């Protein structure tokens, strides 16, 4: 089974990437949808119990925040794959400005997440780790990160 952890500031392309690459194969675990940590925990427990593949689609800016997912997935014998979405803050704010309603993130939230963002490393426990960048044409460039 596979657990995928997306990491990146808001409006860096994570949710779109999920929809394009994993919508038909992995359950999406996202605080944008679930709204509470309790619901998130219940969804994760259900995935582990039923051996469903899943994607954690949150900003996951720090190693400590990613660690809870990595540890529980490893304990359940999941392969843990990370995708780090690098994005310039200015570009993310520009993309965010095209959103509306509850999907529009306050600019200070993007700046705050950007300041806290720690580039993930294999040492955190990932089995595979990718560096992803959203290109101006809306496609992605992706390369394997190695230490």
pLDDT tens per residue, range 134-146: 888 888 999 998 7
> How far is it, in rounded angstroms, from Cα 26 to Cα 8?
19
DSSP state of 123: G
> CATH code for 2-144?
3.40.50.300
Express each pLDDT in 54-64 by its tens digit: 999 999 999 99
Q: Tell me what pLDDT residue 99 has.
A: 74
Residue, of 125 and 87, whose pLDDT is higher: 125
Q: What percent of the chain has pLDDT over 70?
A: 97
Mean pLDDT of the chain: 91
pTM of the complete model: 0.90
Distance CA 54, CA 43 (A): 10
From CA 37, how far away is CA 145, in angstroms rounded?
Answer: 30
User: In which band, very low, low, confident or very high, does the pLDDT at 3 lie, cut at 50, 70 and 90?
Assistant: very high
Burial 79-115 (b: 16+ CB within 10 A, else e): ebbbbbbbbebebbbebbeeeeeeeebeeeebeebbe
**Contact predicate 42/80, CB 8 Å:** no
């Amino acid at each position: 089974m596979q657990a995928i952890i997306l990491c990146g500031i808001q409006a860096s392309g994570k949710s779109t990437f999920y929809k394009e690459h994993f919508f038909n194969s992995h359950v999406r675990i996202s605080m944008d949808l679930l709204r509470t940590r309790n619901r998130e925990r219940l969804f994760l427990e259900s995935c582990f119990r039923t051996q469903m593949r899943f994607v954690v689609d949150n900003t996951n800016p720090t190693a400590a925040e990613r660690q809870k997912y990595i540890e529980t997935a490893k304990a359940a014998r999941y392969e843990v794959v990370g995708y780090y979405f690098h994005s310039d803050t200015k570009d993310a704010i520009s993309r965010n400005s095209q959103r509306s309603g509850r999907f529009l993130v306050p600019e200070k939230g993007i700046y705050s997440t950007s300041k806290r963002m720690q580039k993930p490393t294999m040492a955190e426990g990932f089995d595979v780790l990718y560096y992803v960048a959203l290109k101006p044409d809306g496609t992605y460039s992706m390369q394997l990160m190695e230490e």
